[in-house]
């Protein structure tokens, strides 16, 4: 059962995605801020992370940067209300697999997660 980290400071999103992903057969672990997201990504076995950009503690981009420096191998999908092209490009350059803008469609996000995981397995 793939294990997915949902890191977002909005409780509604953490809960919504936990329920939706569990219904799809994924195991879910959540983090309410950047620091916890970083440590969870390093300490636990994660298959994919959904990372908000604007979080307390560490920004999503900073978490991603630190993960990349640590050599993480799981795909990271950024989920953010930030719509600036520069931020989107920076996240993708930094190594994010995908960037989904808020507000979002849960079904679309699940499809992107499934695609990212199948690509990861085929590598």
Partner 1 sequence: MTGLEILRLTVILIFASNAVLLTVLLTYKGLNRRRTLAHARRRSAYIAVLSQHLSASGEGVRLGKRVAEDEAFLDAVIDLRTVLVGQEASEITDLVDRYGISEQQAAKLDDSRNVGQRLRAAVALAELADESAAHVLLDHLTDKEPEIRIQCARGLARMRWTPAIGVILKQLEHETPWVRSRFADSLITFGPSATWPLIAYIKSNHRLGNRGVPTAIRTLAAIGDPEAIGPTIEILDDANDIEIQLAAVETLGVLGVGPDIYPIEKAARSEDWRLRAKASKALSGINDEAILPTLAIGLHDINWWVRRNAAGALASTLQGREILYSTILGDDAHARDAAAEALADAGEVIAARERIANGLGATRDFDLIEYVEGRKVLTT
Please state the closest distance from residue 49 (CB atom) to partner 1, in A: 18
Q: How far is CA 77 from CA 7, 16, 95, in A?
A: 10, 16, 10
By beta-carbon proximity to partner 1, the closer residue of 27 and 39 is: 27
**DSSP classification of residue 24:** T
CB-based contacts of 83, cutoff 8 Å, min separation 6:
101
Residue 46 to residue 30: CA distance in whole angstroms: 11
Q: Which residues bind partner 1 (CB under 8 A)?
A: 10-13, 15-16, 18-20, 23, 102-108
In the complex with partner 1, which residue's Cβ is closer, 16 or 115?
A: 16
As measured in angstroms, the least distance from the Cβ of 12 to partner 1 is 4
Q: Which is nearer to partner 1, 3 or 102 (CB)?
A: 102
């Amino acid at each position: 059962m793939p294990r997915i980290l949902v890191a977002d400071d909005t409780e509604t999103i953490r809960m919504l995605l936990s329920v939706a992903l569990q219904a799809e057969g994924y195991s879910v672990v959540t983090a309410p801020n950047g620091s916890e997201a970083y440590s969870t990504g390093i300490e636990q076995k994660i298959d994919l992370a959904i990372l908000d950009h604007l979080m307390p503690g560490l920004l999503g981009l900073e978490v991603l940067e630190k993960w990349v420096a640590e050599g993480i191998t799981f795909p990271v999908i950024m989920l953010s209300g930030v719509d600036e092209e520069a931020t989107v490009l920076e996240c993708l350059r930094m190594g994010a697999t995908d960037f989904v803008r808020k507000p979002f469609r849960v079904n679309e996000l699940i499809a992107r997660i499934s695609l990212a995981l199948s690509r990861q397995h085929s590598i």
